[in-house]
């Protein structure tokens, strides 16, 4: 079972790297779908079928459809043959990424990263009540404000895609008219 976890984790990391490296926006979107599916498979291996199903339905389904609509509406094309220019923004991005990686590594190897006492929802309680009931109760009580904020942000993203789709390119006035 552990070997499958490592396989899906490695595939997720490779697909996420493909998301960064690939030049075509459509290939990047497909790489992101693969990453979402690998994460859903990891959730399945951990025994959380509900979160895996939500991962596939919401992220790999709805969010990726929104991304693909934006890619199609903006008519993005791959920059084939154009050499990659390394400037100050790219170097700054690499420096920030290395800094975040260093912080992550220091957190994982610190004494605070050790597992503490069981939380409010232990494995036994989740088995008794069911993960769906617990997630639903938490989502609609303690986390209702973040849940609503996310729904508003998604609605704004959809409205932005519609506005971009409705926008027509300005037609140039013909000379001599």
Query: Which pTM value belongs to this model?
Result: 0.57
pLDDT at 66: 76
**33-47 confidence digits (pLDDT tens):** 899 999 999 999 988
Average pLDDT of the chain is 81
**116-172 confidence digits (pLDDT tens):** 666 777 777 777 887 778 888 888 889 899 889 988 988 888 788 777 777 666 555
Domain count, the chain: 2
pLDDT at 64: 80
Q: Are residues 71 and 139 in the same domain?
A: no
pLDDT at 81: 58
pLDDT at 95: 92
Long-range contacts of 117-121 (CB under 8 A, 24+ apart): none
Q: Which of 41, 58, 78 is the last residue of a domain?
A: 78
In whole angstroms, give the CA distance from residue 51 to residue 163: 32
pLDDT at 117: 63
**67-81 confidence digits (pLDDT tens):** 777 777 776 665 555
| pLDDT classification of 7: cutoffs 50, 70, 90 | very high
The H-or-E segment that residue 99 falls in is helix 88-108
pLDDT at 116: 60
Look at residue 103 and tell me whether its pLDDT is greater than 60. Answer: yes
pLDDT above 90 coverage of the chain, percent:
20
Query: Quick check: 12 and 27 in contact, CB under 8 A?
Result: no
CATH number where 23 lies: 1.20.120.1200
Q: Residue 139 sits in which domain range?
A: 124-168
Q: Which of 52, 78, 104 is the last residue of a domain?
A: 78
Q: Are residues 70 and 11 in the same domain?
A: yes
Query: Quick check: 36 and 55 in contact, CB under 8 A?
Result: yes
The H-or-E segment that residue 157 falls in is helix 144-166
């Amino acid at each position: 079972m552990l070997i499958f976890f490592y396989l899906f984790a490695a595939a997720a990391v490779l697909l996420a790297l493909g998301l960064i490296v690939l030049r075509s926006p459509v290939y990047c979107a497909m790489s992101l779908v693969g990453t979402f599916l690998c994460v859903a498979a990891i959730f399945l291996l951990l025994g959380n079928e509900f979160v895996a199903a939500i991962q596939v339905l919401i992220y790999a389904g709805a969010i990726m459809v929104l991304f693909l609509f934006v890619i199609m509406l903006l008519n993005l094309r791959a920059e084939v043959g154009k050499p990659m220019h390394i400037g100050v923004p790219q170097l700054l991005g690499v420096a920030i990424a290395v800094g975040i990686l260093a912080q992550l590594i220091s957190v994982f190897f610190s004494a605070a990263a050790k597992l503490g006492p069981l939380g409010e929802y232990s494995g036994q309680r989740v088995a008794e009540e069911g993960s769906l009931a617990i997630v639903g109760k938490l989502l609609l009580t303690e986390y209702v404000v973040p849940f609503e904020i996310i729904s508003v942000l998604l609605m704004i993203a959809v409205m932005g895609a519609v506005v971009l789709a409705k926008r027509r390119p300005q037609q140039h006035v013909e000379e001599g008219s």
